[in-house]
Amino acid sequence: MKISRRNLFKLSATAGLTAFTASAFSPLVGLVNVAQANPLKSSKVKPFNFAVIGDAHLYEAPNHRFDKTLERAVSDVVKMRPKPDFVVFIGDLANFGKKEELLKGKKILDRLKKAGIPYKIIPGEHDWYLDLGKFWKELFGSPYWSFNHNGVHFIGLNSILVEDYWTAKGMTPWERMLAIAELECHVCGLWGVGEKQIRWLEKDVKNLSPDTPIVIFTHSPLWNYYPRWNFQTKDADAIRQILSKFEKVIAIHGHVHQVVYNRTDNMVHIGNLATSWPWPYPPVELPYPQIVMNRADPGDIYDGVGFATTYIDDTFLGLLKYKEWADLIPKDLKNGISL
Ligand SMILES: [Fe+2]
Ligand SMILES: [Fe+2]
């Protein structure tokens, strides 16, 4: 007999163990009130929704299960009412940076455009290190950008740039790609955005007033979560410093493939779900409040994966909803958390 997650929870509860209760048969939505304190006094935000999809890790093979989960995220977004104003894809569209993988991903994401929903995209390490971003840039343009929408300033950065670890070792492009594709790459070093983007960011926000609502997207977190797995961005301190003049900043990242939350000074940091697989939590103490997903069922391709939507209201209070397809998200997220 297969023990369903629901049964397992019942059993756990009966045994007196701590258990998250969750419905196995309806999509559970986890809510994280990403900025419930200190609404901006002078905000001129016009309320809207946007969605965040990421870490699709598409393979070249046709009809791969990761195609299905990305397609499902895209079709869920297309069906959303009210329609999201746009989508941000937060990196790792491909698994090995191959043209076929990136092209397949673009084709799936372009369904958003066909439905009248524009999308922006930043790269992940899996998109980049076969040809150092050449084909990605041909397909998608600049890997860092900013735009204004309904009174909010949105920024996307390429946070996966490393020092050259391949030339001295005589690595082929494929060897370079395989090395960084490991969760724990021993030769790659820490990655970040680099000097050029730091200077660009300074200029980008220079003339914005401190009460401007800011949302920033990076593939990796803008805090030191677990550097050993590059759950970090090495110049995050410089980025946070540049953004410190703003009253409030919402930072959304991919790469960790899991629910995680942190707060640093004026910034709220939220980890996005992957559409491919959930990573385990690294062996470190999580920030408060600690939010840990239940362990995914490896036999269920929809367990532990999904995407997120964010509603921004007229005081720049954000409400992030994890949209997952199984019952992995703890129930306490359904009613929000105090930040
Ligand atoms: Fe990823
Ligand atoms: Fe990644």
Any idea which ligand is nearest the CA of 257?
1
Residue 92: Cβ within 10 Å count: 29
CA of 42 to the centre of ligand 1 (A): 37
Which residue's entry shows tokens 């019942």?
A: 10
Q: Which of 29, 30, 38, 28 has its CA nearest to residue 268?
A: 38
Domain annotation covers residue 8: no
* 33 has a pLDDT exceeding 90: no
Which residue's entry shows tokens 């204004």?
A: 148
Domain annotation covers residue 183: yes
Residue 298 belongs to domain with CATH number: 3.60.21.10
pLDDT band at 30 (very low <50, low <70, confident <90, very high): low
CA of 6 to the centre of ligand 2 (A): 31
Domain annotation covers residue 319: yes
CA of 282 to the centre of ligand 2 (A): 15
CA of 222 to the centre of ligand 2 (A): 14
CA of 244 to the centre of ligand 2 (A): 26
Domain annotation covers residue 11: no
Domain annotation covers residue 9: no
Domain annotation covers residue 26: no
- pTM over 0.85? The answer is yes
CA of 14 to the centre of ligand 1 (A): 36
Mean pLDDT of 85-108: 98
Any idea which ligand is nearest the CA of 95?
1
CA of 337 to the centre of ligand 2 (A): 27
Domain annotation covers residue 22: no
Looking at per-residue confidence, does 9 or 164 come out higher? 164
**What is the number of structural domains in the chain?**
1
- pLDDT score, position 328: 76
Any idea which ligand is nearest the CA of 188?
2
CA of 94 to the centre of ligand 1 (A): 9
Any idea which ligand is nearest the CA of 123?
2
β-strand partners of 153: 148, 214
* 303 has a pLDDT exceeding 90: no
* 185 has a pLDDT exceeding 70: yes
- pLDDT score, position 334: 65
pLDDT (tens digit per residue) in 259-292: 999 999 999 999 999 999 999 999 998 887 778 8
Domain annotation covers residue 180: yes
- Pairing verdict, β 267-271 and 249-253: parallel
CB 275 within 8 A of CB 305: yes
CA of 151 to the centre of ligand 1 (A): 30
CB 311 within 8 A of CB 318: yes
- pLDDT score, position 31: 59
CA of 274 to the centre of ligand 1 (A): 7
CA of 25 to the centre of ligand 2 (A): 30
- pLDDT score, position 38: 63
Give the domain extent around 113: 31-333
Q: Is 175 helix (H, G, I), strand (E, B) or coil?
A: helix
CA of 92 to the centre of ligand 2 (A): 6
Distance, in Å, from the CA atom of 125 to the CA atom of 298, rounded to the nearest integer, reads 24
Any idea which ligand is nearest the CA of 185?
2
